Structure 1
Amino acid sequence: MLIMKAIRVKLWQDLVNYKKPTSFQLKETYPLPPYSTVIGMIHTLCGFTSYHEMKISIQGKYFSKVNDLATRYEFKNGMTYDATRHQIKVDNYGVSRGISTVELLVDLELLIHIIPEDPALVPVIEKAFKEPIEYPSLGRREDIATIQAVDVVEVEKRKPKENKSVNICDDYNAYVPISLAESNVVRFKSQESSVGRDKLLGTRYLLTEKYERVNHGTEKAPKFFRKWRKKDVIYSSRIFVSKNDVFFLDKDDCLVFIEEEV
């Protein structure tokens, strides 16, 4: 029997954008925050100056989507200021200012389980959410997150007493790691009627989780780039776990979507 301590956090945001890195003119958003975004918020609130390994389960829902206008700044490295094309002058360099469109999620609710690799960090993270050192934001800097509930719960790998759906916890959607989906422990409703071989009912994303700085230059002229560790997931609400299967559940029988290994 595997039991772990987790911090379970419920958050609410009125308008938020979790920008997809490949979107530009229209800044599209992920339906839920990527793992790296959540982990970054945790490290900021805790005041961590080095990376702490942790497992994250992300569930949530939003009411609708809207588009909004935002100011967009563009510049090219080394381009000198030209009054006929640039709106802003920074020293001798020019910056163009224009308009872009941002996709926003409305009335977003999140249920996040945080399981640090070091159990001693559980009370540290709990306190950081109950007594934040600054206003918590998730997504853009201006996307303030309202903390609705913080609890320390036990996450246990066991058989549920009955078939458990992600909808048990307030009709949420979830990021399901692909290894869980392909193992058939996590099942998808109505998969018998799905077309073709692929029975993973949902949207597949490759989400950023953690990065390391890699030097592609020399010791004297370093050029550092971020090399990301990414997690392959299915985003879906049509999820359930059979009462005959073993899965991670918290004390309130909410499903926790984590993998065995970090």
Structure 2
Amino acid sequence: MKGEPVKALRVVLYQPHAHYRLPFTYRRRHSYPIPPYSTVRGFLCNVLNIRGHTLGRDPEANEDFQRLKAAKIGIAGRFETKTTEYMWFRNLGKKQHISRFGSAEGRTMWGVGEHPGGQLPVWVDVLNEVRIVVYLVHEDYAFLERLCEKIQNPSERFYPLYLGRSEDWVVVEDVNKDVSLEFKAKDADFEHFFWVPEKLFLPPGGSFDFTQVEGIFYRVPFFWELREGSRDFRYVLAKLSDGRIKNISFLFDSSFGRKGLPVFLLNPGV
């Protein structure tokens, strides 16, 4: 199916190590192979210096925040290896402290002074040599141009640029605000993971059958807000594709790599 190309902003991010935690895992902390939408949005909020309620700001009053919420976003990525780290997590609750040291005042174990709180052994899955590809489409193209400039020169960022854990810093490898996406069908193994959302953005005349997508169902976090001191997450239904795609049509970036790359854009307005 042919039609007018869709103009997009493409951002390629590199991380030596990364962990995108599945929220329902605890003692063994599993990682998504690519970050969920809420994680990427948080990265972009940092770039745009959008601060939240915890810092005494109302993000809803920020015009860039409203524009970012309306952006269509697609996420793909790959990693080379996965390792599992074994570490101690510390719980500073009073009950856990007493359980470990015997009293609220105790701070020694085997004659050695230690930090307060209890300890819990945890396994953490860590992805190595990670590359994430993010696509953004917006009705206000001037917003994408400004976002492109901020990513290339994040002089107003509030934190160092990271994706996932705060220690998982990123290197911006490439930013291109003039990517043309064509709607087409192409069967191939694209060697990337993709989020394929049920609420998919389609160009005029485009059609898509979510049931034909091969992948694992997830309720993926795409937005959160602070309510009474805790995060209130909103979720969307999506399938996690391992890159082997057939019998469906999609937006396609022919300029990426040797095979090109399918682009599945979450449409938050649907």
With the shorter chain as reference, the TM-score category is 0.7 to 0.9
Which amino acid is 2:234 matched to?
A: R
2:136 equivalent to 1:141: no
After TM superposition, the score normalised by the length of structure 2 is 0.72
Alignment-derived partner of residue 102 in structure 1: 124
1:19 and 1:28 in contact (8 A); partners too: yes
Alignment-derived partner of residue 238 in structure 1: 244
Q: Kindly tell me: are residues 88 and 228 of structure 1, through their superposed partners in 2, closer, same or farther at Cα, counting changes over 3 Å?
A: farther
2:197 equivalent to 1:177: yes
Alignment-derived partner of residue 36 in structure 1: 38
Give the Cα–Cα distance (whole angstroms) in 2 for the partners of residues 201 and 17 of structure 1.
24
1:88 Cα deviation after fit: 6.5
2:199 and 2:268 in contact (8 A); partners too: no
1:204 Cα deviation after fit: 1.6
Identity over aligned pairs, percent: 22
After TM superposition, the score normalised by the length of structure 1 is 0.74
2:135 equivalent to 1:113: yes
Aligned residues: 231
CA offsets 1:147-166 (integer angstroms, 9 cap, x no match)? 1111112444x543xx4246
* Equivalent residue for 2:219, pick from 183, 201, 206: 206
Q: Kindly tell me: are residues 229 and 126 of structure 1, through their superposed partners in 2, closer, same or farther at Cα, counting changes over 3 Å?
A: same
Give the Cα–Cα distance (whole angstroms) in 1 for the partners of residues 84 and 164 of structure 2.
16
2:37 equivalent to 1:24: no
Higher share of residues assigned helix = 2
Alignment-derived partner of residue 9 in structure 1: 11
1:258 Cα deviation after fit: 1.2
Structure 1 residues not aligned, in runs of 5+: 188-197, 215-222
Structure 2 residues not aligned, in runs of 5+: 52-58, 60-64, 109-115, 201-205
Secondary structure at 2:263's aligned position in 1?
Answer: coil
1:153 and 1:251 in contact (8 A); partners too: no
Q: Kindly tell me: are residues 241 and 10 of structure 1, through their superposed partners in 2, closer, same or farther at Cα, counting changes over 3 Å?
A: farther
Which amino acid is 1:204 matched to?
A: F
Give the Cα–Cα distance (whole angstroms) in 2 for the partners of residues 68 and 172 of structure 1.
24
1:209 Cα deviation after fit: 0.4
2:162 and 2:168 in contact (8 A); partners too: yes
Give the Cα–Cα distance (whole angstroms) in 1 for the partners of residues 219 and 103 of structure 2.
38
Give the Cα–Cα distance (whole angstroms) in 1 for the partners of residues 128 and 96 of structure 2.
40
Secondary structure at 1:255's aligned position in 2?
Answer: strand
1:177 and 1:234 in contact (8 A); partners too: yes
Which amino acid is 1:84 matched to?
A: G
Equivalent positions of 1:38-77 (< 5 A) are 38-49=40-51, 50=59, 51=65, 52-53=68-69, 54-76=71-93
